[in-house]
C-alpha cells in the first residue's frame, strides 16, 4: 500500500475470504454488493441442501456467475461442505479441475444450516487425509455444539477439544479458523507457525457483546460466533492490524431478511458486504495502522491460499462529510438490514 498522505490510501483490490451469498432471489439481491467491492470471495456452501459434491459446486457457481452485474469483475471461489459421507475422489477431482478452492467444516448444529455437519471426525478422516496430501485448505467454523458449554466459551473449547487434536493428528492439513472472535483464537494462531491462518470479520472488530444486549435486544448485531467481551475485540483488532500474515479478512457477510432476524428466534448473521471496505479504513486508521490494511484485506488471504494477488487497485480518501450507506438492501425475498457501526465513516472511494 502507498500512503500518499493520511487522508488518501491506495491498495490492491480486496478479496473476501468468507462470504454467504445464498441462492435464488437473495443471491440476486446481494451479489452486486460484494462484486462491486471485492475481486474474489470464498463462497460458503451452507445452502439448503448444502453444496456437498463437485457437481453441486459447479451448478452453484453457474447460478452465481449468471447474476453478477455487468461490468463487475468478480470470481466466486467455491467450497464444498464437508460431511461424514464426503467422497475423497470427488473432492480431489473438483480441486484438480479448479472448481473447488477449499472445504468447509461445520460441527453439526453449530450455526445456520449446519445440520449436515460432522459429528464423528473418524468418519471424515479419509477426505481430510486426502486434503492434507493435496494441500486443499479446510475452513473451520470453530465452535463446539455441546449444550453444556456456555455459548461465549464455545470457540475456546473447540480449540482444545477439536481443533488442536485434529491438527496433531493431521499436521499437514491447511486450516483456516473462520471468523475468530476471541483472544484464545488469536493466541492459538500465533502459537502455530505452519498450516494455520484465521479470518476476522469487520463487525467483530467493531462491536462487543454489549451491542447485542444493552438497552434492549438488537438482533442485527447477532451472529455466530457471537461477539464476545471487549478484551476479545481488542485482541482481534490488534491481530488484524499487526501485519501478521496469518490474519486476513473474511467478512462473513450473512444476509437474512429482516422478518427472520427480527423474530422470537432470530437468525444469526450480519450483513457487511457493502460497507466493509470503508469501515475497515476507519478501524485501521483508529489503530494507527492504515499501512497494514492492504495486507489484511488484499494480500495475506491470497498468499495463504496460494493464489495470485489482484492487479487492480482501489483508492480511498477521507473527507469531511460522512459517507452514506443504504440502511437496507432490497431483495426479492425481502429487505436485509446493513450493519450499522453506530458512528460516522469519513472514508469514501476516491
Ligand X SMILES: NC(=O)N[C@@H](CC(=O)O)C(=O)O
Supply the Cα-derived Rg of the chain in whole angstroms. Answer: 19
Q: How far is the CB of 18 from ligand X (least distance, A)?
A: 7
Sequence length of the chain is 350
How far is residue 21's CA from residue 79's CA, in Å, rounded to a whole number? Answer: 12
> Which one, 22 or 282, has the nearer CB to ligand X?
22
* Catalytic center residues: 252
> Which one, 30 or 290, has the nearer CB to ligand X?
30
How far is residue 129's CA from residue 164's CA, in Å, rounded to a whole number? Answer: 16
256 among the known binding-site residues?
yes
Q: How far is the CB of 278 from Zn ion (least distance, A)?
A: 21
Q: Supply φ then ψ for residue 287, to 5 degrees.
A: -85, 5
Residue 108 interacting entry, from Zn ion, ligand X, none, C-beta within 5 to 8 Å by type: none
* Distances in whole angstroms, Cα of residue 165 to Cα of each of 79, 161, 169: 23, 7, 6
How far is residue 174's CA from residue 161's CA, in Å, rounded to a whole number? Answer: 18
152: number of Cβ within 10 Å: 16
179 among the known binding-site residues?
yes
22 among the known binding-site residues?
yes
Residues that bind ligand X (CB under 6 A): 20, 46, 111-112, 141, 223-224, 252, 254, 268-269
Q: How far is the CB of 255 from Zn ion (least distance, A)?
A: 11
Residue 268 interacting entry, from ligand X, Zn ion, none, C-beta within 5 to 8 Å by type: ligand X
> Which one, 28 or 252, has the nearer CB to ligand X?
252
Q: What does DSSP say about strands 334-337 and 16-19: parallel, antiparallel, or unpaired?
A: unpaired
Q: How far is the CB of 154 from ligand X (least distance, A)?
A: 12
Residues with Cβ within 8 Å of 25's Cβ and at least 6 positions away in sequence, in order, are: 331, 332, 333
Report whether 15 contacts 302 (CB < 8 A).
yes
Q: How far is the CB of 102 from Zn ion (least distance, A)?
A: 13
Contact pick of 141, 232, 246, 261 for Zn ion (by CB under 5 A): 141
Contact pick of 252, 285, 294, 333 for Zn ion (by CB under 5 A): 252
237 among the known binding-site residues?
no
Q: Supply φ then ψ for residue 62, to 5 degrees.
A: -60, -40
Specify which residues 247 forms β-bridges with. Answer: 198
> Which one, 23 or 73, has the nearer CB to Zn ion?
23
Report whether 142 contacts 196 (CB < 8 A).
no
> Which one, 204 or 318, has the nearer CB to Zn ion?
204
| Binding-site residue positions | 18, 20-22, 46, 104, 141, 179, 224, 252, 256, 268
| Binding-site residue positions for Zn(2+) | 18, 20, 104, 141, 179, 252
Binding residues for Zn ion, rule: CB under 5 A, are: 111, 141, 252
| Binding-site residue positions for substrate | 20-22, 46, 141, 224, 256, 268
Amino acid at each position: 500500500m502507498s500512503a500518499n498522505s493520511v487522508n488518501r490510501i491506495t491498495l490492491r483490490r480486496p478479496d473476501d475470504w468468507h462470504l454467504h451469498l445464498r441462492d435464488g432471489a437473495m443471491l440476486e439481491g446481494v451479489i452486486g454488493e460484494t462484486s462491486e467491492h471485492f475481486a474474489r470471495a470464498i463462497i460458503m456452501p451452507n445452502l439448503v441442501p448444502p453444496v456437498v459434491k463437485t457437481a453441486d459446486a459447479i451448478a452453484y457457481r453457474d447460478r452465481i456467475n449468471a447474476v453478477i452485474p455487468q461490468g463487475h469483475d468478480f470470481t466466486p471461489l467455491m467450497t464444498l461442505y464437508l460431511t461424514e459421507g464426503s467422497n475423497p475422489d470427488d473432492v480431489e477431482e473438483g480441486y484438480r479441475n479448479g472448481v473447488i478452492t477449499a472445504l468447509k467444516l461445520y460441527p453439526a448444529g453449530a450455526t445456520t444450516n449446519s445440520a449436515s455437519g460432522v459429528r464423528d471426525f473418524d468418519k471424515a478422516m479419509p477426505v481430510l487425509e486426502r486434503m492434507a496430501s493435496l494441500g486443499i485448505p479446510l475452513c473451520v467454523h470453530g465452535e463446539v455444539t455441546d449444550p453444556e458449554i456456555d455459548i461465549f466459551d464455545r470457540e475456546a473449547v473447540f480449540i482444545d477439544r477439536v481443533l488442536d487434536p485434529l491438527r496433531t493428528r493431521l499436521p499437514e492439513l491447511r486450516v483456516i479458523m473462520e471468523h475468530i472472535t476471541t483472544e484464545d483464537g488469536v493466541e492459538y494462531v500465533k502459537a502455530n507457525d505452519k498450516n494455520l491462518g484465521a479470518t476476522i470479520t469487520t463487525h467483530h472488530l467493531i462491536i462487543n457483546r454489549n451491542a447485542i444486549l444493552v438497552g434492549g435486544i438488537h438482533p442485527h448485531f447477532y451472529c455466530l460466533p457471537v461477539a464476545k467481551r471487549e478484551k476479545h475485540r481488542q485482541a482481534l483488532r490488534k491481530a488484524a492490524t499487526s501485519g501478521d500474515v496469518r490474519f486476513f479478512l473474511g467478512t462473513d457477510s450473512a444476509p437474512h431478511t429482516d422478518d427472520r432476524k427480527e423474530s422470537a428466534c432470530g437468525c444469526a448473521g450480519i450483513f457487511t458486504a457493502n460497507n466493509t471496505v470503508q469501515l475497515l479504513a476507519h478501524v485501521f486508521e483508529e489503530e494507527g495502522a492504515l499501512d497494514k490494511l492492504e495486507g489484511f484485506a488484499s494480500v495475506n488471504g491470497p498468499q495463504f491460499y496460494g493464489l495470485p494477488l489482484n492487479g487492480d487497485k482501489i483508492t480511498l480518501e477521507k473527507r469531511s462529510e460522512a459517507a452514506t450507506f443504504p440502511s437496507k438492501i432490497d431483495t426479492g425475498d425481502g429487505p436485509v438490514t446493513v450493519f450499522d457501526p453506530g458512528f460516522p465513516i469519513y472514508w469514501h472511494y476516491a
